[in-house]
Amino acid sequence: MDTRTPPASTAAAPAIRLEQVTKQFGTVQAVRGIDLTIEQGEVVAFLGPNGAGKTTSIDMMLGLSRPTSGSVEVLGMAPRQAIARGLVAAVMQTGGLLKDLTVRETVAYMASLFADTQPVDEVLAHAGITGLASRKVGKCSGGEQQRLRFAIALLSDPALLLLDEPTTGMDVEGRRAFWGAIRADADRGRTVVFATHYLEEADQYADRIVLVRKGQIVADGSGSEIKALAAGRTVRATLEHADHSAVTALSQLAGVESVEVRGDTVLLHATDTDAVARHLLTQTSAHDLEITARSIEDAFLSLTGDDETDADSPADHGHVLEGTTR
């Protein structure tokens, strides 16, 4: 299942290593203890709803903000040092360009700041914006500005590229071309991490999906693993006198996401419902079992959503997913 490239046998530093990272803004805990290692050459999607902590995490990887606690390393060094060597680049959705510079001036300006870059003309040609070279950035369309942002990001041939919602506003054709180019670069060793809130995009283009919710990683695995997770099923059974310890025992079964008790009925959301059924029938007095599939969207929402019913779920999810991470 895992199609990710195994870490190179050489002692190559991981592209990103976050250890016990937290970030607090005033009273708001944006990131609540993230551990994450991304090896070089991986294409990783940071998936989660708005406000999940994706952007905050990326800002820390870029050295734009410091974690409240924990450590962040990029290619084996502090983020700022990696940036000083031109090893890290990022493309944001908006901004980051001066309207009163021409396209060529913008590229030349940025190129002059790095120790090693490709020639400006080549960069313009590669990004397909040679024809725009003498146009003011303010007069370029949104798509043209986005191409310019990519041209700038690739100037220093970065080892790590961070993208924030990269394909927002792109049409289907542009999206395909974009991801084709990104994949080609990844195959040459570039690590790509992108933030998105589209499950489909993450599944289609990432080797690995890191699901974030409320500042924590709730799932980490390949697209198919995440989909399997999301495609979990519900087991419904009659279980008389289900007390607290019985529920706790059930919730600790491998693959169980949540346990709900409604009178004499228990509802278990699980990835491996066969195992749950076997357990219920052989180890407990449960009867009248019923197994139903959840829709992918429902399940995905339950992983990333903000519903009250599973307020204590991050721990549960962490447990569920132990088997699937790395």
Partner 1 sequence: MSATSPTRTIAPTTRRVPPLGGFNLTVMRIEIARMLRNRRTIVFTFVFPAALFLAIGSGSGWQEKAGNGNVAAYLMLSMALYGAALTAAAGGAMVATERALGWSRQLRLTPIHPGVYIGMKALIALLLGAVAITVVNVVAIVQGRATMPTDRWVEAALLTLVCTMVFAALGVFVGYLVPGENAMQILGPGLALLSFLGNVFIPIDDGTVLWHIASWTPMFGVAEISRAPLTGELPWYAVVNAVGWLAVFVAGAAWRMSKDTARV
User: Which positions touch partner 1 (CB under 8 A)?
Assistant: 3-5, 8, 10, 12-13, 40-41, 55, 59, 62-65, 75-77, 82-90, 92, 94-101, 105, 108-116, 152, 159, 186-190, 207
Closer to partner 1 at the Cβ: 82 or 299? 82
For 47, half-sphere exposure in the C-beta direction (CA atoms, 13 angstrom radius) is 30
Least CB distance to partner 1 at residue 52 (A): 16
CA 295/CA 153 separation, integer angstroms: 39
Which residue blocks in 98-163 are alpha helix, DSSP H? 103-112, 120-126, 142-154
What DSSP element (H or E) covers 43?
Answer: strand 43-47
Q: Taking the CA atoms of 268, 272, 278 and 284 in sequence, report the sign of the dihedral they define.
A: negative
What is the closest distance, in whole angstroms, from the C-beta atom of residue 45 to partner 1 in the complex? 15
CB of 119 to partner 1, least distance (A): 13
**In the complex, minimum distance from the CB of residue 39 to partner 1, in angstroms, rounded to a whole number:** 8
Instruction: Select 191 or 304, whichever has its Cβ closest to partner 1.
Output: 191
Task: Please state, as a whole number, how many other Cβ atoms lie within 10 Å of the Cβ of residue 197.
Answer: 16
The nearer residue to partner 1, 222 or 273, going by C-beta atoms, is 222
The least CB distance from residue 265 to partner 1, in Å, is 44
Which C-beta is closer to partner 1: that of 183 or that of 236? 183
For residue 115, count other CB atoms closer than 10 A to its CB: 8
Q: Write down the least CB distance from residue 310 to partner 1, Å.
A: 30
Tokens standing for 53? 């902590």
Nearer to partner 1, 189 or 305 (CB): 189
Nearer to partner 1, 94 or 309 (CB): 94
Q: Is-contact 235 276, C-beta < 8 A?
A: yes
Do 124 and 148 contact (CB within 8 A), yes or no? no
Q: Which amino acid is at 224?
A: S
